[in-house]
Amino acid sequence: MTEVVAALIWDGDKFMICQRPAHKARGLLWEFVGGKVEPGETKEQALVRECREELAVTVEPADVFMDVVHEYPDLTVHLTLFNASIAQGVPQKLEHNDIRWITPAEIPNYEFCPADRDILRRLMGR
């Protein structure tokens, strides 16, 4: 099982989604910013590192919004999604193909990674 963390970052009534690079697994699907937890890291430390590497921002993780386990053909992930805020910096596309801010009502307009489906249902039900 691969431990993965991601950030649910709000700006008013919109939250950030990122489009995976075309050359990676699940290329061009949308996701929340984040990545794998490295050995010796806490989940919060991993989230701060991943956001710095992928967006050039410093985030402040808060509470856990939700966590899910999803089996892909190539790996099983335990995804922990944290509520988080940007403490410093402006998001930049260092890793992703695109970055968008969307409302929960706009979720059906995007094709997300399968691991995010339960999270997205919860966001739409808010």
pLDDT tens track for 54-97: 999 999 999 999 999 999 998 999 999 999 999 999 999 999 99
Confidence (pTM): 0.94
> What pLDDT was estimated at residue 126?
72
> What pLDDT was estimated at residue 105?
97
* Side-chain half-sphere CA neighbours of 92 within 13 A: 9
Nearest to 57 by CA among 48, 65, 66: 48
CATH of the domain at 78: 3.90.79.10
The per-residue pLDDT for range 94-107, each reduced to its tens digit, is 999 999 999 999 99
* Residue 126 token pair: 């808010």
Domain that holds residue 101: 2-124
Specify the DSSP element, H or E, that contains 83: strand 76-88
CA distance 44 to 35: 11
pLDDT of 115 > 90? The answer is yes
Please state, as a whole number, how many other Cβ atoms lie within 10 Å of the Cβ of residue 41.
16
- Looking at the structure of the chain, the number of domains it has is 1
